Structure 1
Amino acid sequence: MALKGREIILGILADGPHTGYEINEILQNQLAHFFDGSYGMIYPTLKKLSQDGLVTSQQITQTGKPNKNIFAITPAGQTAFQKAIVTPTDDETFKSDFLMRLYFSQYLSATDIHDFIQEEIQRKEAKLTRLTSQLTLWEEQGMTPVQKITYDYGVAYYTSTLKVLQEALLAYPATTD
């Protein structure tokens, strides 16, 4: 069974209480290279988890700022998370709009293909830079050796993908008009 937003949020909260903003930061930074979670799914999921008795929230009053809610996992939430985390994993599903379009790129000019590949290289370089720039912070925040494997996996993925794309770009050099 693939872990979904519900289990991901429970897993984040298993590490300690967090605000919705902090959960989003973890999703967008530490998990973004292997989980597609959006800010818009956080609060509806937290609301449902709360209704199910799996998380609690505490409102903190702040002066000069909106109040904030801190969410914590309950014992029932811990049990639900533990049950989910030990289920067999699903095979990875790889979906790529870039690769689907590249597959059909025989309908494009060599210049268009070059530009298309170059654009994907820039995206992958930005993602690799974003990922690698966070390592020191995550280690300071207590990144576990097993969590480091997910980081290394992401770095390996982006590095190898960039190598393939840069080699492909040689077959489609930029043309000057």
Structure 2
Amino acid sequence: MKGKEIILGLLETRGPLTGYEINEIIQNQLSHFYDGSYGMIYPTLRKLEQDELVTKRQVNQTEKPNKNVFSILPAGQTAFRQALTSDLTTDTFKSDFLLKMYFGDQLTPAQKRTLVQQELDLKQLKLDALHANLTDWQARGMTENQRLTANYGIATYTAQIKVLNEELQRLTTG
């Protein structure tokens, strides 16, 4: 799924949302399997509005900037359902760490250990965040399908941490 369908899906399942709220969901609940940012969200929302898939309502606030709240329209619901039931595509996976390790013959053993330790620390932070947020998400009404995505992320990070620990041990003991 692309950014367009993800935003439509969030509006379909969560109801009206601001761009800020969409970003919060993407950064907190989807970040272990989707990489999105404000730089994608707001242009996509404008395009969805132009295509009459969403509507925008401005909410006036005192002592704060006005905010725009987006809602999905019937045409957007149709587009989202089509995307949801379309065939799967191959996952796209990019890793700066793995690219550096692939070409790592140019690195010293100490540099390799540093890279592995950095990646290990990053994966551990991601795993810890998923564990910490899971209880909160469940209390807020996380669905079984959403729980599956969190468990998938936990399993993925756990496996990556295992491999990284093994490699760090190998690099340390020589």
The alignment's TM-score, normalised by the length of structure 1, stands at 0.94
Normalized per residue, the structure richer in helix is: 2
The alpha-carbon deviation at position 94 of structure 1 amounts to 2.1
| Correspondence for 1:56 | 55
Amino acid at match of 1:4: K
| Correspondence for 1:159 | 158
Give the secondary structure class of the aligned counterpart of 1:34: coil
Amino acid at match of 2:2: K
Give the secondary structure class of the aligned counterpart of 2:89: coil
Task: Say if 1:174 and 1:123 are closer, same or farther in 2 by CA, change over 3 A.
Answer: farther
Residue 165 of structure 2 is aligned to residue 170 of structure 1: no
- Which residues of structure 1 form unaligned runs of 5+? none
- Which residues of structure 2 form unaligned runs of 5+? none
The alpha-carbon deviation at position 32 of structure 1 amounts to 0.5
The CA distance in 2 between the partners of 1:77 and 1:62, in whole Å, is: 28
Asked if structure 2 preserves the Cα contact closer than 8 Å seen for 1:111 and 1:174, the reply is no
The CA distance in 2 between the partners of 1:61 and 1:155, in whole Å, is: 40
Residue 11 of structure 2 is aligned to residue 44 of structure 1: no
| Correspondence for 2:89 | 90
The alpha-carbon deviation at position 141 of structure 1 amounts to 1.9
Amino acid at match of 1:164: V
The CA distance in 2 between the partners of 1:174 and 1:70, in whole Å, is: 56
The alpha-carbon deviation at position 97 of structure 1 amounts to 1.6
Give the secondary structure class of the aligned counterpart of 1:134: helix
Higher relative contact order (CA 8 A, sep 6+): 1
The alpha-carbon deviation at position 174 of structure 1 amounts to 8.6
| Correspondence for 1:141 | 140
Asked if structure 2 preserves the Cα contact closer than 8 Å seen for 1:10 and 1:81, the reply is yes
The CA distance in 2 between the partners of 1:149 and 1:90, in whole Å, is: 19
| Correspondence for 1:124 | 123
Amino acid at match of 1:64: E
| Correspondence for 2:9 | 11
Asked if structure 2 preserves the Cα contact closer than 8 Å seen for 1:114 and 1:174, the reply is no
Amino acid at match of 2:92: T
